[in-house]
Structure 1
Amino acid sequence: MIAQEVAEFKIGDQVTWSSQSNGTVSTKIGQVVLNVEEALRLIPRQPKIARNPMRAVEVIFPDHRRLFDGHDWPAGRVVVEVQSSDGKGKKLLYMPRLSGLQKTIE
């Protein structure tokens, strides 16, 4: 079995990745705002909710728009916050695949 390297992303890291929708490829830039450990820290009395990323972001980020599905936290996965394209709307939350996620140079 070949060990797969998983990059570690920390809360506050600036990251970038590409996504596709309706035949258009776009590059997204955002900030890591949540992982399973942080969710458990922020809502310690509700571990079932903290272990479900979709439910955790509803509790922790009620004014954000969730743009991912996911009932569990695959190893190393994080939630990334992106400003809306017009800069005025709700902030957006994504859970991008680790294989395409890269830290930006600060």
Structure 2
Amino acid sequence: MSFPTHFGVALVFGILLSILPATAAEEKQITLMLGGNFCGFYPDDIEKALTELSGVKAVDLKSMKEHAIVTVDTSKTKPEELTAAVNKVKGSGWHCTAEVMK
């Protein structure tokens, strides 16, 4: 009894996939609701704080008012790290806060 060629190829491919470590990025878009005293006047500071995180691929502050849409590799950066980065954005008499939208 012989197996069809495509079965053999699929079997070898399956074995290789089970041996090799998973390296695919777990890319997601996470929406943050922004708040705080005058936070909306400092989008560059918010964007800088977010893009300095290793897993952040893109930050969109223009599509939704008072929100940040962050494209992030969640295997490198967790949502809590995004909110913590925004919460650290402060100036003289102003600050920012962020909350992950569910």
* Fold in common (TM above 0.5): no
Q: Which structure's CA Rg is the greater one?
A: 2
TM-score (norm 2): 0.29
TM-score (norm 1): 0.28
Q: Which has the higher contact order (CA 8 A, sep 6+)?
A: 2
- Name whichever structure is richer in helix by fraction: 2
